[in-house]
Each structure stands twice: as structure tokens, then as C-alpha cells.
């Protein structure tokens, strides 16, 4: 059965039969005997019962009721069960490192067991007496399989290298799992990026997105067409359903309106791709920034001559066009306490340190001074024309002098004022930093930029509106914040500092952004 078919069957099964592991009847009675609920026990997390009743699925505080029936949990010590399923790229290294970091921070003892053909099982134990507290299973498969497991109630969290599809969101909503688009149910836990790599010594060091797509579509077949040697190009990529391949197919192949050539050679892992390039002087592979091996990374450019180099800084700020957020998706239900604590931990500086140690790009907020951003200002001068005068550029430089840019950006879905998925996650990150006093006594400027399409004056106005929109969203996320502690400002510079060429959809999307500057 296909993954989509499995998802549909699983969602239907969940609606008809409930959760197989705990599909037994219970009766919950309030302490004063005035209320009685009967239904099928779905989950119990040590604090709350989740029961499918004639009134729908209800969550009931265990401290206020007694439980009777074959489905009632034992009265022994509660052991939380968490299953995290999805992309092998995340489940093999990143999430295990985060679970181990969480256990260390909380003072839990940890036992690790490799499950052949499945992934990793962690058992968390109380450090003092060795009592078992939780079992965390990390299933390594694909993003699609992770969503299928969520729909079939076989997973509590999904690790995904891509956003949930429209079909997956719809099926999750129909199965009572909530809206996977909202920030409460999806977050970015780390960043990576797609990069083209070639053999060291290959003279081709820069490609446009359209040229890259043409190589993988079989339209460009010889390096001579790109300024290289007279030799045939051998394109490599990861198996089509694995890891980051669906992202490449969507953001490069489909976005450029081409189809994948049957000459592309596939490998099952990133390390296998790096090995292939090491052996093949005329090969090119699409892999990830964190697993590029000894291959030479090719810069991406546009028709206007701007190029963006993949670096930790450009990936963290999502200025690099093929930045790849690594998502964690959650159903709309209460997790066990230890699961909620794990989610809180993922936002901490400790978790960001662990992410860096695992060689992924973290989300810790860092600053970059104006003097370290020469390429951006060179692009601004290059792009200046009749609508953006030298005086406009001088005004922008004057306004930014003495400030540093934070490593966080906000971008918008195409043709919309709605933030894209990574930016919705960034709202929570910035709000948390404000509430924690990270910027007390500072001035924080929300500065908007636009693409170069249309009238420059209108773009200037639009960039300010976008900056105000982001500021309002961040303020709306704050719960215990004293506005006197930080000065929040809004500014817009329109199309004055492009990051990429406007001759492609991805270039325009990169240019439409809100940056955060600090002084």
C-alpha cells in the first residue's frame, strides 16, 4: 500500500477503532459522584485521561475522578511513552542528541537501545533510585512515513524535512489532530540547506537555480556549457523519497517547470553522495550543507550576477535560497509531562549548543555588525538605479550604522501577508528572547525590505507595513513583558538592499523580508 493509502486507512481506522494500544472501556466518576463519563480510553499520561465518549473526545484531570473498567491504567508508577517518527536525516543524529542533552540537563539516567530496522529506544530513569520514567522511541524512516504514523496514532511527534502537505493537513484535521499549520503544532528545531557539490578542482564554482534545474532535467549535459571542461556531466542525488529529495524536487525541479532526467544516478545516503563525487571528477550531487563531505560547494546565483554562498550565517538568517528548515509537528493533544518538558528544552540555549555539536545549524540569536556585511551592501550599490538613488542608500547606511543584524528573518508566503512556516516559528523565538530579558535596555528595530517589482514608492510603503505586521505578531505572542524594558522601532527601506535577483520567484521571495537590527 502506498504511503498516501496507508495514511487514509490509518486515519479511518483511528476514527473507527480509536487507539489500538488502549482501546478498552472505562467509566470516570467525579469524586462527589455527580458526573459519570463512559467511553474508550485513548491515552493516559499520568495526569490526564483522554477518552472517546458519546460527547466526543474529552480530556479529564485524573485527580478529580475515579476510574473503573478494563481499560483503567494500573496503579503502579506511571511510565510515559513517546514515539517520534519521521525523516532519517533528523532521527539518526539530531533528535537523539537532543534527547540525550535533555536527559543530562534534567538529571535523568539514560539507557539507549538500537532497534534494528526501526531506530532508537531511550529509557529515561530517575537519577536517584533508577525508577523508569519514560520510554522515547525515535523511528527513522521518511517525512511521509512520519505523517502516516501520526495519523494512525502510532507517533506523538513527526520529524519532517518539509512542510506538511495540503493533503496531510486536511487528513490530520479530519482525524481530530488539529491544524498542522499553526505555530502551536509545528516548529523549526534546526536548519540545514541543499547545496550542489562538485569534485575539488572542478572550475565551475557558481550556478544559477535555472542552470541547476537544467542539469538535473538533462538539458545541460556538458560542463563546457557552464564554462568548465569539455566533459559530460553526471548528476547524482538521494533516492527520490528519502530525506531532502522531495524538497529539491519541489523547490528546484518543479519550481523551474522541468522534469527530472532518467540519467540521474541515485544513492541512499548523503555519505554515499559525497563518496560518489570524490570518485567522479565530472559529477555533481545535491546534498546537505551539514553532510557535504570533501566536495566543493557551488555558489548559487541569479541572472543579475548576485550570488549567495552557503554558510552557517546565511542559512541561519535564511538568506541562502535553498535553506531547509527541519520541522517538528505535533497533534492537538496534551503530551505527558516529560514530553512537554522536552518541548520546552528544545527552545533553550542548551539545546542550541547540542544542535551545533551535532553539526546542524542552530537557531540561537546572534548578531552581525554592519561592517561584516559588505556583500549585501555591494549588491545594494549594484542594484541601484533610477528609482533607488545614492541618497537613499546613504540614508539606509546612516540608519543602520552602529547597529547589528540579528540572525533571524521573517518572510512571507507568495502573494500573501501571511508569514511562511519558518517565520511563524521565529515569532515565538523572538518573543521568548524578549520575555527573558535578552534585549533589556536595547533598541530593537523591525526593518522591512521588498523585491524590486513595481513602483519603488509603493514598495517602500509595503516594506514598512510588513515590518509593522511582524512587530504586531511578536507583541501578540508576549505574555509577561514590560514594554518599558525595550524600545521597539519600525522602519522600511523598500527595494534598497536586495539579497538575490528579482528574475525568479525564489529571488523575489528572499528579497521580501523583515530583518531585526539591534543597538
Whole-model pTM: value is 0.81
Look at the alpha carbons of 446, 452, 457, 458 in this order and tell me if their dihedral is positive or negative: negative
Main-chain phi, psi angles of 504, to 5 degrees: -145, 160
* 506 neighbors 498 (Cβ within 8 angstroms): no
- Between CA 268 and CA 135 the distance in angstroms is 29
- Between CA 355 and CA 438 the distance in angstroms is 21
pLDDT digits (tens, 9 = 90+) for 89-142: 899 999 999 999 999 999 999 999 999 999 999 999 987 788 899 999 999 999
* 356 neighbors 362 (Cβ within 8 angstroms): yes
Please say if the pLDDT value at position 177 is more than 90. Answer: yes
Q: Where are the domains of the chain?
A: 1-178+331-359, 192-312, 365-518
| Residue 401 confidence (pLDDT) | 85
Is residue 479 very low, low, confident or very high in pLDDT (cuts 50, 70, 90)? confident
CATH 3.30.1330.60 is held by the domain 365-518: yes
Please say if the pLDDT value at position 19 is more than 50. Answer: no
Average pLDDT over residues 159-165: 93
pLDDT digits (tens, 9 = 90+) for 404-456: 999 999 998 766 678 888 898 899 899 999 998 999 999 999 999 888 888 88
pLDDT digits (tens, 9 = 90+) for 329-367: 999 988 888 999 999 999 899 999 999 999 999 999 998
| Residue 23 confidence (pLDDT) | 55
Please say if the pLDDT value at position 385 is more than 70. Answer: no
Compute CA distances 376 → 115, 308, 453, whole Å: 48, 10, 19
Residue of 327, 326, 323, 325 whose CA lies nearest to 311: 323
| Residue 379 confidence (pLDDT) | 63
| Residue 373 confidence (pLDDT) | 66
| Residue 337 confidence (pLDDT) | 86
Which residues have C-beta within 8 Å of that of residue 483, sequence separation ≥ 6?
Answer: none
pLDDT digits (tens, 9 = 90+) for 32-48: 788 999 999 988 877 88
CA dihedral (412, 416, 419, 421) in degrees, to 10, reads -90
Main-chain phi, psi angles of 500, to 5 degrees: -150, 175
Is residue 4 very low, low, confident or very high in pLDDT (cuts 50, 70, 90)? very low
| Residue 18 confidence (pLDDT) | 37
SS3 283: strand
* 145 neighbors 5 (Cβ within 8 angstroms): no
The arrangement of secondary structure in 192-312, i.e. its CATH architecture, is 3-Layer(aba) Sandwich (3.40)
Query: What's the whole-number average pLDDT of the chain?
Result: 87
Is residue 507 very low, low, confident or very high in pLDDT (cuts 50, 70, 90)? confident
Q: Give the percent of the chain with pLDDT over 70.
A: 90
Average pLDDT over residues 478-491: 88
Residue of 51, 79, 56, 81 whose CA lies nearest to 67: 51
- Between CA 495 and CA 381 the distance in angstroms is 12
Is residue 376 very low, low, confident or very high in pLDDT (cuts 50, 70, 90)? low
| Residue 247 confidence (pLDDT) | 87
Strand ranges (DSSP E) for 117-179? 119-125, 132-141, 157-160
* 152 neighbors 291 (Cβ within 8 angstroms): no
| Residue 240 confidence (pLDDT) | 79
- Between CA 70 and CA 49 the distance in angstroms is 14
Q: Which of 212-216, 255-259, 409-413 has the lowest mean pLDDT?
A: 409-413
SS3 26: strand
- Between CA 385 and CA 496 the distance in angstroms is 10
- Binning the chain into helix, strand and coil, the percentages to the nearest 5 are 35, 30, 35
Amino acid at each position: 500500500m502506498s504511503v498516501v493509502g496507508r495514511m487514509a486507512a490509518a486515519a479511518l481506522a483511528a476514527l473507527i477503532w480509536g487507539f489500538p494500544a488502549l482501546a478498552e472501556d472505562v467509566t470516570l466518576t467525579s469524586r462527589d459522584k455527580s458526573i459519570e463519563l463512559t467511553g474508550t480510553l485513548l491515552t493516559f499520561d499520568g495526569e490526564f485521561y483522554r477518552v472517546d465518549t458519546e460527547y466526543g473526545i474529552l480530556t479529564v484531570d485524573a485527580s478529580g475522578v475515579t476510574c473503573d473498567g478494563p481499560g483503567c491504567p494500573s496503579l503502579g508508577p506511571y511510565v510515559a511513552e513517546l514515539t517520534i517518527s519521521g525523516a532519517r536525516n533528523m532521527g539518526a543524529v539530531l533528535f537523539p542528541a537532543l534527547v540525550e542533552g535533555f536527559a543530562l540537563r534534567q538529571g535523568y539516567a539514560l539507557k539507549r537501545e538500537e532497534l534494528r530496522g526501526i531506530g532508537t529506544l531511550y529509557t529515561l530513569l530517575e537519577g536517584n533510585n533508577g525508577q523508569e520514567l519514560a520510554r522515547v522511541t525515535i523511528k527513522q524512516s521518511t517525512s511521509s512515513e512520519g505523517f502516516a504514523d501520526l495519523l494512525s496514532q502510532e507517533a506523538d511527534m513527526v520529524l519532517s524535512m518539509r512542510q506538511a502537505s495540503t493533503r496531510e493537513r486536511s487528513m490530520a484535521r479530519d482525524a481530530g489532530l488539529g491544524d498542522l499549520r499553526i505555530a502551536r503544532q509545528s516548529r523549526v528545531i534546526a536548519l540545514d540547506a541543499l547545496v550542489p557539490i562538485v569534485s575539488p578542482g572542478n572550475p565551475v564554482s557558481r550556478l544559477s537555480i535555472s542552470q541547476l534545474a537544467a542539469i538535473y532535467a538533462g538539458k545541460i549535459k556538458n560542463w563546457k556549457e557552464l564554462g568548465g571542461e569539455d566533459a559530460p556531466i553526471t548528476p547524482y542525488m538521494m533516492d527520490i523519497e528519502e530525506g531532502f529529495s522531495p524538497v529539491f524536487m519541489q523547490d528546484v525541479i518543479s519550481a523551474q517547470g522541468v522534469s527530472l532526467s532518467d540519467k540521474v544516478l541515485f544513492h541512499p545516503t548523503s555519505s554515499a553522495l559525497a563518496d560518489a563525487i570524490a570518485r567522479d571528477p565530472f559529477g555533481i550531487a545535491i546534498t546537505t550543507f551539514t553532510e557535504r563531505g570533501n566536495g566543493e560547494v557551488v555558489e548559487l546565483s541569479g541572472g543579475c550576477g548576485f550570488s549567495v554562498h552557503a554558510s552557517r550565517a546565511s542559512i541561519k538568517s535564511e538568506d541562502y535560497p535553498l535553506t531547509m528548515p527541519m520541522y517538528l509537528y505535533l497533534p492537538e493533544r496534551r503530551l505527558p509531562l516529560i514530553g512537554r518538558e522536552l518541548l520546552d528544552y528544545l527552545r533553550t540555549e542548551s539545546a542550541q549548543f547540542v544542535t551545533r555539536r551535532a553539526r546542524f545549524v542552530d537557531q540561537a540569536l546572534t548578531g552581525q555588525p554592519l561592517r561584516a556585511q559588505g556583500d549585501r551592501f555591494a549588491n545594494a550599490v549594484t542594484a541601484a538605479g533610477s528609482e533607488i538613488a545614492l541618497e537613499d542608500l546613504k540614508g539606509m547606511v546612516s540608519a543602520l550604522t552602529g547597529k547589528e543584524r540579528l540572525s533571524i528573518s521573517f518572510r512571507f508566503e507568495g502573494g500573501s501577508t501571511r508569514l511562511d512556516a519558518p517565520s511563524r516559528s521565529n515569532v515565538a523565538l523572538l518573543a521568548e528572547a524578549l520575555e527573558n530579558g535578552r534585549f533589556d535596555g536595547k533598541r530593537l528595530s523591525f526593518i522591512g525590505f521588498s523585491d524590486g517589482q513595481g513602483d519603488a514608492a509603493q514598495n517602500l510603503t509595503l516594506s514598512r507595513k510588513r515590518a509593522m505586521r511582524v512587530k504586531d505578531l511578536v507583541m501578540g505572542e508576549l505574555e509577561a513583558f514590560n514594554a518599558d524594558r525595550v524600545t521597539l522601532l519600525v522602519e522600511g527601506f523598500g527595494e534598497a538592499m536586495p539579497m538575490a535577483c528579482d528574475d525568479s520567484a525564489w529571488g523575489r521571495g528572499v528579497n521580501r523580508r523583515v530583518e531585526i537590527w539591534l543597538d
